[in-house]
Structure 1
Amino acid sequence: MIQIEIKPSQVTVDERRGTSDKGKDWVMREQKGYIFLGGDYPELIVFPLAEGQPPYEAGLYELTEKCFSVGSYHSLRFSRAFVLRPVTSGK
């Protein structure tokens, strides 16, 4: 199981807005956290939030199945959706 920890200082949304070359407005909403990949220390990551989605609260989370998709030629890839599930104390 891949775990992500969100610290109290990371319960914020970084939002950027702009206009594309074609005149379409865009918004990027992101939050930071730490991912545990088996090394001595976790790695800082930035992940997307859906429009209107509040930031995740501080705590431990795991990646859900919605974070992945199968691409062309059956390759595993990250999907645009990034949904975390709280880790319960029984895990």
Structure 2
Amino acid sequence: MLTIEVFPDDVKVEPRVMPGKDGKPPRTIYEQDAYAHLGGRFPTQMKLQIEEGQPPYAAGKYTPHSSSYIVNNFGGLELKRFGLMIQPLEIDI
């Protein structure tokens, strides 16, 4: 199972402005840092795309939500390029 971890220092959303192309206006995307545990000694830093106005994910361990996977044109399973959603691995009671 793929584990994605958000550390307390990364519970914040950071905007990034993408310049417009071909006369289109610039757009702002919102991101949050997280870390993917891919089997190596250390997790790999990654960016979670956050919808405008969405609060940041809380510190904790997550896994991709089932809606974040697609079957590609060759029948292989892959993560969506956009719209990755994560869900908590452990729920505090």
* Category of TM-score, reference length = shorter chain: 0.7 to 0.9
TM-score under structure 2 length normalisation: 0.80
Give 1:19 deviation, angstroms: 3.5
Q: Secondary structure at the match of 1:5?
A: strand
Counterpart residue number, 1:77:
78
Percent identical across equivalent pairs? 30
Cα distance in 2 for residues equivalent to 1:19 and 1:72: 30
Unaligned runs of 5+ in 1: none
Q: Which amino acid aligns with 2:65?
A: T
Counterpart residue number, 1:34:
35
CA RMSD of superposed structures (Å): 2.0
Give 1:24 deviation, angstroms: 3.1
Give 1:78 deviation, angstroms: 2.5
Unaligned runs of 5+ in 2: none
Aligned residues: 90
Cα distance in 1 for residues equivalent to 2:85 and 2:23: 30
Cα distance in 2 for residues equivalent to 1:20 and 1:57: 34
**Are the aligned partners of 1:50 and 1:81 in contact in 2 as well (CA < 8 Å)?**
no
Counterpart residue number, 2:89:
87
Q: Which amino acid aligns with 1:31?
A: Q
